[in-house]
Amino acid sequence: MGRSLVAKIDDILRRERTLSFEFFPPRTPEAEAQLERTLQELEPLHPSYVSVTYGAGGSTRERTHELVVQINQGTSMTAMAHLTCAGHTRAELETIVGRYRDAGVENILALGGDPPPDVVLPPSELDHAIDLVRLVRDAGPFSIGVAVHPEPHPRSPSVESDRRYTAEKLAEADFGITQFFFEAHHYFELVEALRARGVDKPVIPGIMPVLSIAGIQRMAALQGSAFPPWLAERLYAVEDDPDTVRRVGIDEATRLCAELLEGGASGLHFYTLNRSPATREIAANLGLAPIG
């Protein structure tokens, strides 16, 4: 593996439709080995960039930093660091962003941060993701992304207020990446609503194929995504056969991706859960890369 030519994601988006993957910092030697295999298996797909998540309140602060720098310096891939403002002081965030700048990291995904229900974080000095976007912007010439919800954020009082806030923060950022969803119309309605508010920054749809019924339903509920009855019906019809459940999930994710690309989506961002087979299969189905 060679060293990446680190690039700003907003520059990449101006040139091409993107293909990107998301990872989380491993916590055990076994998980480290798994992630290393996944990086080696996905690098041949030549992703436009990859991203690394950040634990609630900075619980993975050092591991996120190390993994982002490792990917930039030890592979051909460009890495983006996630960063949340929840549980941090302004000074802490300025230090974290400064370290990224000094390490040559050019891309940051600025997030508010939603800790798990059983996690109590220290008080935060920045209230919202838009405040973190402004802090990162002041700290250096970063390319800054934000998270957006095709279906409203679960804490939003209404679709209208969610779209208004999303438009405000995306107007100050460079691009958005969506939470995962299962029906393309949610993405297209979001993009249309943003354009109606004068915001035409690139919005990249996030994709997570259904590989197990219980796991995906739990994650969907946490982030506020509806689990469509038609998809549940297909999956529960074969719930006793995990291989068939997985095949249905891959097929439906492929169909969703094809519809998004056909409709003009800015790219595809895969939530890999640190494993490569499903992402590689979908990419191959779409003609984006061989499974190899």
CATH number, domain with residue 31: 3.20.20.220
Q: Which residues pair with 267 in a beta bridge?
A: 18
Strand (E) or helix (H) holding 204: strand 203-207
User: In terms of residue numbers, what domain contains 16?
Assistant: 9-285
Angle between helices 184-196 and 242-262 (to 10 degrees): 30
Residue 235 is assigned to a structural domain of this protein: yes
Q: Is residue 211 part of a domain?
A: yes
SS3 letters across 17-44:
CEEEEEECCCCCHHHHHHHHHHHHHHHH
Q: What SS3 class is residue 111?
A: strand
> Does the residue 199 lie in any domain?
yes
Residue 107 belongs to a domain:
yes
Do the domain assignments include residue 3? no
The rounded distance, in Å, linking the Cα atoms of 99 and 241 is 48
Query: Helix, strand, or coil here: 117?
Result: coil
Q: Is residue 291 domain-resident?
A: no
Q: What is the pLDDT along the chain (292 residues), one digit of tens a residue?
A: 344 567 999 999 999 999 999 999 999 999 999 999 999 999 999 999 999 999 877 889 999 999 999 999 999 999 999 999 998 999 999 999 999 999 999 999 999 987 766 777 788 899 899 999 999 999 999 999 999 999 987 777 888 999 999 999 999 999 999 999 999 999 999 999 999 999 999 999 999 999 988 888 777 777 778 889 999 899 999 999 999 999 999 999 999 999 999 999 999 999 999 999 999 999 999 998 644 4
Domain-embedded: residue 4:
no
Q: What are the tokens at 224?
A: 């506020």
Entry field: residues in the chain: 292
Tell me the whole-structure pTM to 2 decimals. 0.94
Classify 175 in phi/psi space as left (phi over 0), alpha (psi -120 to 50) or beta. beta
User: Which residue of the set 22, 43, 252, 281 is catalytic?
Assistant: 22
Give the contacts of 24 (CB within 8 A, at least 6 positions apart).
52, 53, 60, 273, 274
22 included as an active-site residue: yes
User: How many domains does the structure of the chain reveal?
Assistant: 1
Q: Which two tokens stand for residue 87?
A: 């549980």
